Structure 1
Amino acid sequence: MSGSGDSVGVHKLSAKSTIFGLSIYLVIAICSVFLLLISLLIFLFVCLNRVSRARRMRVKHSSGSIPLVSKKTSEEIKTVGKFLNCDDSMRKVENEVVVVTEEATSKEASGAFDDMSVASSGDVGSEVMGWGRWYSLRDLETATRGFSDENVIGEGGYGVVYRADFPDGSVAAVKNLLNNKGQAEKEFKVEVEAIGKVRHKNLVGLMGYCADTAQRMLVYEYIDNGNLEQWLHGDVGPVSPLTWDIRMKVAIGTAKGLAYLHEGLEPKVVHRDVKSSNILLDRKWNPKVSDFGLAKLLESETSYVTTRVMGTFGYVSPEYASTGMLNECSDVYSFGVLLMEIITGRSPVDYSRPPGEMNLVDWFKGMVASRRGEEVIDPKIKNPQPHPRALKRALLVCLRCIDLDASKRPKMGQIIHMLEADDFPFRPEHRSVQTNKKPLES
């Protein structure tokens, strides 16, 4: 009886169904495989979702903010000094001066964007993370009207700068870094490390950044009065709006910004590209040092040796150009050239001038040595002319900054004191004139 029952069951299963005329055996097998595939896909989706969420959590909450020192920079600092971690701060234990070449770190510079990578999600741009804001690519595209040409406010070797108008009414400058052989990623790291948490009235503030997918952008405060190069060498007419007092204000403010980088930070920051086009001006002629894409972080009393000299021709110090030795003295030399440019209104290198005047430094030194310092003043500076002592002091600062012996150049803090020195002998004379007038008026 049981045998006949089994044969009947087998017969029923082997019978053809109404689904495309397939047997019930085959229908059951197909359904089983289909359910198994669905279960496998669901399992894979859940696993991938968990991994993705773990990565985002690790990036967003591991330190609470973007690292001040990335992998590349921390490796360089380790070769220069030994440190111990103590309450999330770096405490120096032992000084070691070691030559570090740029070739040794080029692999890390061109490697993956490990420490700075962020998950590309729609809500990243709305969050405030640590010192700055993480902008989404969509936010910046909207604010710059799709990165239109009409919003371009500056262009350089490493990117294009756009004006960005945000819905809340705020305005910013967005620097879209060009990815030339990994240069965008390298400059992104350098600028974030150098000035990400720095706040100084004479340094352009870095408000935030965008690292969606492979795009690298930096968002700065918007300075709406152009740069120093435009005001010195642009078509401003026969009389420059930059009076002597304004020019000294710009020089002193620039010196204060550089002094903060050199003497107010640890590790110190060497700008490496001090020039007139990197000095932005606001409506009150307050200067702000910008463009930290070539900056270098160095420990105290430490020099950096590079096999590839970076900077702008005419501003680069001789020892850096010839040996690759970089420290804050290199910035001091560049500042000296900048101060000459401010005083004379001439470019550091101008091939349109006679042979003896093409190089600003050589011409300037020759003029001062022959006691013709008054003749170096920009002819576009009209009354009031600088007082002879004020001019002499500024000329002396220039010469000290470009001393061929880098060890004899002053620190930026000393330069500030020299430029701000009060002319006490002149004030009593002014007061005596006023006192002599009073009896006559009465």
Structure 2
Amino acid sequence: MSTATTPPPLHLLLHSLSLLTTPQPSHSLSYTHLQTIHSLALSLTTRIANLRASRGDLAGSDRARLIVRKLKSGLPFCFFQDFWHESRASYLIVAIKKIDYAALSLQEEDNFLEAVSNMSRLRHPNIIALVGFCGEHGQRLLVHDYVGNGNLHDMLHFADERSKQLTWNARVRVALGTARALEYLHEVCLPSVVHRNFKSANILLDEELNPHLSDCGLAALTPNTERQVSSTEMISFGYSAPEFALSGIYTVKSDVYSFGVVMLELLTGRKPLDSSRVRAEQSLVRWATPQLHDIDALAKMVDPALNGMYPAKSLSRFADILALCVQPEPEFRPPMSEVVQALVRLMQRASVVKRHSSEESGFMFKTPDHETADISY
């Protein structure tokens, strides 16, 4: 506990997440390792403080002092907290991702700064922003904005109180927000940025359930060994486009396919691959796509957690959009700008239906007032 008489206003909590390395039990982290992490974090947060000071966010004399607080099992979670004062009003929370520097090729080492520079230019309301990096002590750390309401995968597939928030309207808004993120990466950025690892676990949700796409631009920094593992996982868990599984070729149209799989998750509440189901239903795409244009079959596919509270026409249009995205041939998949336009129209029509009638079909359409469609980006 510091005895400073005039505590600085910065109360900084770093949430360190080693997402790009193999998870290790907490007891395997040596004291030396913790010292290294602590040293890196100190250097990193000083840079963040200096950056914010240069932008006028903090007084130039402000600084951050960090103390290792806790270790959790499973992943090496390290909490660093400034103890100068107890007020939470000035908290800055960021996520730190550690790249396995030792596994990078020489070319990947040389390209690190260029890749970080490119990632730092990605600025979109539905994309997790890179706010800093650290490249000392033979390690590479990336600092991102922290979104604390979990990810879409967990909210869909692990039933708890949070999952009740995912009404039909909320799901469409999540699809629209992530579609806008991919549209930005594919069609606004020059050159285009291919995500390569688009899945529901990489869609983080804030308290208002606005989606924020993570890991954008990380493909260039993923070590060769981990890229192979990642490719296998993509195939195994059902997000990978057919052309990638067959040839290893991955393009923006492969991202579109993965987006369609996530739309299927939103519609059905099912995982892309689920070995606990009967064989014919284990692959979500293979099971669902033949039924997407049959309104009766479609109604039976809907996530039971919705309790029938959705408009039939909105459901049908949603299914039409995702059916195009998961076409086996990449040339038949739409660009993300067309997907965005289609989802915007769906949201507009849903707003009209909500205002004028919720009895257009046999299905109920009940959503909280605060979920009126927002298409004002």
Shorter-chain TM-score bucket reads 0.5 to 0.7
- How far 1:330 sits from its partner (Å)? 0.7
Aligned residue among 287, 292, 306 for 2:216: 292
Q: Per the alignment, do residues 357 and 182 of structure 1 end up closer, same or farther by CA in structure 2, a change over 3 Å counting?
A: same
CA separation in 2, counterparts of 1:125 and 1:400?
43
In the TM superposition, residue 191 of structure 1 has moved relative to its aligned partner by: 5.6
**Aligned counterparts of 1:376 and 1:190: Cα–Cα separation in 2:** 45
Partner of 2:356: 430
C-alpha deviation, 1:178, in angstroms: 3.3
Partner of 1:292, secondary structure, is coil
Which structure 2 residues correspond to residues 107-146 of structure 1 after superposition, within 5 A? 127-128=50-51, 143=66, 145-146=67-68
Aligned to 2:307: 382
1:320 aligns with 2:244: yes
Q: Work out whether 1:359 is the aligned partner of 2:283.
A: yes
- 1:219 deviates by 0.9
In structure 2, relative to structure 1, the CA distance for the partners of 1:128 and 1:410 (3 Å cut) is: same
1:173 maps to 2:113 = no
Q: Which one of the candidate residues 246, 250, 256 is aligned to 2:180?
A: 256
Instruction: Specify every segment of 5 or more residues in structure 2 that has no aligned partner in the other structure, as ranges.
Output: 1-42, 56-62, 85-89, 222-226, 360-377
The offset of 1:161, in angstroms, is 6.2
**How far has the Cα of 1:275 moved from its partner?**
0.4
**Equivalent in the alignment of 1:436:** none
Instruction: Say if 1:126 and 1:420 are closer, same or farther in 2 by CA, change over 3 A.
Output: closer
Alpha-carbon contact 2:68-2:78 (below 8 Å) kept: no
Q: Displacement of 1:146 after TM fit?
A: 3.0
Q: TM-score, normalised by structure 1?
A: 0.57
Partner of 2:198: 274
Counterpart selection for 1:348 from 261, 272, 276: 272
Structure 1 match to 2:3: none
* Offset of residue 366 of structure 1: 2.9
Unaligned runs of 5+ in 1: 1-119, 132-138, 298-305, 434-442
* Distance in structure 2 (CA, Å) of the matches to 1:398 and 1:428: 23
Instruction: Indicate the percent of aligned positions where both proteins have the same amino acid.
Output: 33
Q: How far did residue 318 of structure 1 move?
A: 0.6
SS of alignment partner, residue 404 of structure 1: coil
TM-score scaled by structure 2?
0.67
Cα offset, 1:400, TM superposition: 0.2
Per chain length, whose mean CA-contact separation is higher, i.e. which structure has more relative contact order (CA < 8 Å, sep 6+)? 2
Confirm or deny: 8 A CA contact 1:272 1:296 kept in the other structure: no
Residue-by-residue CA offset, 1:291-323 (whole Å, 9 max, x unaligned)? 1364369xxxxxxxx999836231111112212
CA RMSD, Structure 1 to Structure 2 (Å): 3.8
CA contact (8 A) 1:239 1:382 kept: no
Residue type matched to 1:200 in 2?
H
Question: Could you say what secondary structure the match of 2:339 adopts?
Answer: helix
Deviation at 1:357, TM superposition (A): 0.5
Question: How big is the shift at 1:222?
Answer: 1.4
Amino acid at match of 1:390: S
Asked if 2 retains the 8 angstrom alpha-carbon contact of 1:188 and 1:293, the reply is no
Which amino acid in 2 is paired with 1:292?
C
**In 2, Cα distance between the equivalents of 1:374 and 1:121?**
51
Residue deviations 1:170-203, cap 9 Å, x none?
A: 2211122334622795996586244212211100
Q: Does 1:394 align with 2:318?
A: yes
- Cα distance in 2, alignment partners of residues 425 and 257 from structure 1: 22
